[in-house]
Structure 1
Amino acid sequence: MTDTLHDVRSPGWAADPPVVMLFLHGFGANEHDLPGLAPALGLDLPWASLRAPLDLGGGAAWFAVTTPGSPDPWVVEAATDTIWQWVEVHLHAETLVVPIGFSQGGLMATQLLRTRPDRVLAPVVLAGFVLGAPQPADGALADSRPPAFWGRGAEDRVIAAPAVARTASWLPLHTSLTGRVYPGLAHGIHAAEVAEVRDFLAEHVGGNRR
């Protein structure tokens, strides 16, 4: 892994935006995978989309897959650190991030929340899951219960069942969860899901609506 993450950013990127959407792609994709969602999410916010640090040759990953749904904590924590390093270099110290992650990127969105919740606003987890190991802010989150969105397909066979069960247990105890399961959807993103994410963000990221 490298400490420097490549990124693409929204046109007219501001020097010190108060809030930024942070797109975090899934295994084997790249930084160009998720920004197409930005117009449909309905927020007048700058965005950045990060390329994961593990080069797969044509794509990238936040960490190597060993046991599906149960990655080694240290590799996930190292990837989390690389995202925070990017934030510290490219964003103002008071800028909040709205992490929107798919699959592995969804796990990384929850990692940002579980490590530095003071910098995270309304994380969106699409077909993702949470790490099984305790994280630094878990106790604080159990008290504060910030808003979070978790959507997944009822027919998703990529995310292992134990990871889904772990996430279904952890999120309601540590967030004010908006959870959705989409019938007929496999490992992907549903149009109805995008609409519900838009509503979720409109409610919880106020003052930046289109």
Structure 2
Amino acid sequence: MLRMTGHVEAADGQADGGLLFVMFHGYGNDESEMVRILDAVVAVGDGCSADAAAVARPGWLSFRGTYDRPYMGGSYWYPDGCDVASRRRECSVVGDEVVSLLDASALRNRRRVLVGFSQGGYLSYRMVREHPGVFDAAILLSPSFKGEEDATPPDSRTRFFLAYGGEDRTIPVDDQLTARRVLDASGRLVFHEYPGMAHAICDAEIADIRGFLESL
């Protein structure tokens, strides 16, 4: 069963209930990682109370990885080093459950934006591939892309934001190039690379995410 946190206001019967962020963290972290990123994008201040911060954010759901790391803490979506078939299978299980959840009446009329970092970025990409009519945009931050060398562009209307650090060696350069090639072929890709950044998030990236969302 998926573990998650979130905040979604009622849509009040509107045809478009606004943005809904559907978020997945990276290896060894938890759902709070993506909430921190969202707070930075929507500029929720440090002095803001928890209740006020929840109201200031758009609708959001942030999920915790299905596997927990013993002793070290944190969670992950698929075992490090597993083969391509196993990785895709794990992503399919999570994706099917999330998409079923999004069919709830309170969530149905939202414009859905996937946001994922590293493993969570790959999971978000796989969800677009397997559920092509569900998501309006996918923000893929330093995603793993191993095993997608022969992939065709996703057959969907989803718009993509893809970003890597220029010094990211956690994700091999060849996998980064694969991600850019596959998604660029969709004709709906915005790509950014950040010089000097490793496998992380930077202020310039937050600003670019904000600009991408404003264009939706």
Aligned partners of 2:84 and 2:147 also within 8 Å:
no
Tell me the SS of whatever aligns to 1:118: coil
CA 1:96–1:149 in structure 2 vs 1: closer, same or farther (change >3 Å)?
same
Which whole-Å CA distance do the structure 1 matches of 2:100 and 2:140 have between them? 22
Task: Please name the residue that 1:100 is paired with.
Answer: 115
Tell me the SS of whatever aligns to 2:201: coil
Aligned amino acid, residue 26 of structure 1? G
Tell me the SS of whatever aligns to 2:179: helix
1:169 Cα deviation from its structure 2 partner = 1.4
Aligned partners of 2:153 and 2:185 also within 8 Å:
no
1:48 Cα deviation from its structure 2 partner = 0.8
Task: Please name the residue that 2:14 is paired with.
Answer: none
Q: Which runs of 5+ in 2 are unaligned?
A: 12-16, 43-55
1:60 Cα deviation from its structure 2 partner = 0.9
Please list, as runs of the form range in 1=range in 2, the aligned pairs for 1:51-200 lying within 5 A after superposition: 51-57=64-70, 58-66=73-81, 71-89=83-101, 91-92=103-104, 94=108, 95-130=110-145, 132-133=147-148, 138=153, 140-141=155-156, 144=157, 146-200=158-212
Return the match for 1:8 from 5, 21, 27: 5
Larger radius of gyration: 2
1:26 Cα deviation from its structure 2 partner = 0.3
CA 1:15–1:6 in structure 2 vs 1: closer, same or farther (change >3 Å)?
farther
Deviations 1:26-79 (A, max 9, x none): 001111111012233238521011011122131111111117xxx423333332
Tell me the SS of whatever aligns to 1:39: helix
Kindly tell me the number of residue pairs found equivalent between the two proteins. 192
1:197 Cα deviation from its structure 2 partner = 0.4
Aligned amino acid, residue 184 of structure 1? G
Task: Please name the residue that 1:28 is paired with.
Answer: 28
Identity percentage over the alignment? 24
1:139 Cα deviation from its structure 2 partner = 5.9
Aligned amino acid, residue 119 of structure 1? V
1:22 Cα deviation from its structure 2 partner = 1.0
Aligned partners of 1:152 and 1:182 also within 8 Å:
yes
TM value normalised by structure 1: 0.81
Deviations 1:154-208 (A, max 9, x none): 000100122112112111012411100100000000100000000001111xxxx
Which whole-Å CA distance do the structure 2 matches of 1:15 and 1:176 have between them? 30
For the aligned residues, what is the CA RMSD? 2.4
Tell me the SS of whatever aligns to 1:123: strand
Q: Which runs of 5+ in 1 are unaligned?
A: 205-210
CA 1:80–1:18 in structure 2 vs 1: closer, same or farther (change >3 Å)?
farther
CA 1:129–1:109 in structure 2 vs 1: closer, same or farther (change >3 Å)?
same
Deviations 1:72-126 (A, max 9, x none): 2333333232233133135426344211100111111111111112111110011
CA 1:202–1:110 in structure 2 vs 1: closer, same or farther (change >3 Å)?
same
